[in-house]
Structure 1
Amino acid sequence: MLGSKLDDYLRFNETALSLRSARQTVLASNIANADTPNYKARDIDFSSALQTAIANASPNAQQTLNTTASKHYPNPQQDAGTLADGTPLLYRGVLQGAVDGNTVDMNVEQSQFADNAIRYEAGITSINAQIKSMLAAIQSGS
């Protein structure tokens, strides 16, 4: 019971950090493919993905099944348009198209990458504050 209360207390920041980490990977992939012909820049709708993840992480949410054999289908079935957790990958709008069909705008990608990294660090700071407040409560109670 105590474990579930601690899980509930930390769930939001844990989920947000997990999504921030996944988004950072997507943004890094965009930057890495800046010179790849016909590469289309991808991103996630962070707000929508966080709402979905929180709803799915709640105690009353339907649990997904783990696969135990290579022939089992993942639940939900994944494709190139989703992350491992089922978050849909969206195409970034084209601001200025390139002759080779690549839609990566390095200014946008670097800006989004830096913004996401700062927000990730803020999430870490928030979790540290939560843990410190729990430790203070434990220490004052004994």
Structure 2
Amino acid sequence: MFDDVSSSALRVAVTGLSARQNAIANNIANVETPGFKARKVKFEEALQGAVAHGQSPLGVKPSVHTSLEPTRLNGNNVNLDEETLSHIDTTMRYQLTIRAIDGKYSLLREAIKGA
């Protein structure tokens, strides 16, 4: 019941979005660190591919990549504007995913109560 495709996909999405939030926070914290390279977290394509091919989404793990964006003179490539927008986007996606999970559990609670 808790391992259906949609529940599994939602759990993977929460994990991936949480990892992305941590990477964004780390990027912002190091915006002035010489030589620091921003990190990007990807998981959506792998999650979509697993679901589309009938595979378990639980096998999808977020991957962390070093950004290949151009660097400033100090060797740092964190773009504060990009990180801020990514933070807002990721937060909204995270909240939406949590609401979807809550909705699934609300339906289950109602079914158990027999309402």
Question: Shared fold (TM-score greater than 0.5)?
Answer: yes
Instruction: Give how far 1:21 is off.
Output: 0.6
| Aligned pair partner of 2:94 in 120, 123, 128 | 120
- Would the alpha carbon gap of residues 42 and 52 (structure 1) be closer, same or farther in structure 2, given more than 3 Å must change? farther
CA RMSD between the two structures? 2.5
Q: Which has the larger radius of gyration?
A: 1
The count of corresponding residues between Structure 1 and Structure 2 is: 111
Aligned match of 1:82: none
| Aligned pair partner of 1:88 in 63, 68, 73 | 63
For 1:32, give the aligned amino acid. A
Instruction: Give how far 1:116 is off.
Output: 0.4
TM-score, normalised via structure 2 length? 0.80
TM-score, normalised via structure 1 length? 0.66
| Aligned pair partner of 1:131 in 101, 105, 113 | 105
Instruction: Give how far 1:132 is off.
Output: 0.8
Instruction: Give how far 1:30 is off.
Output: 0.5
Q: Secondary structure at the match of 2:84?
A: helix
CA contact (8 A) 1:15 1:53 kept: no
Normalized per residue, the structure richer in helix is 2
For 1:24, give the aligned amino acid. Q
Please state if 1:19 is matched with 2:27. Answer: no
Structure 2 unmatched runs, 5+: none
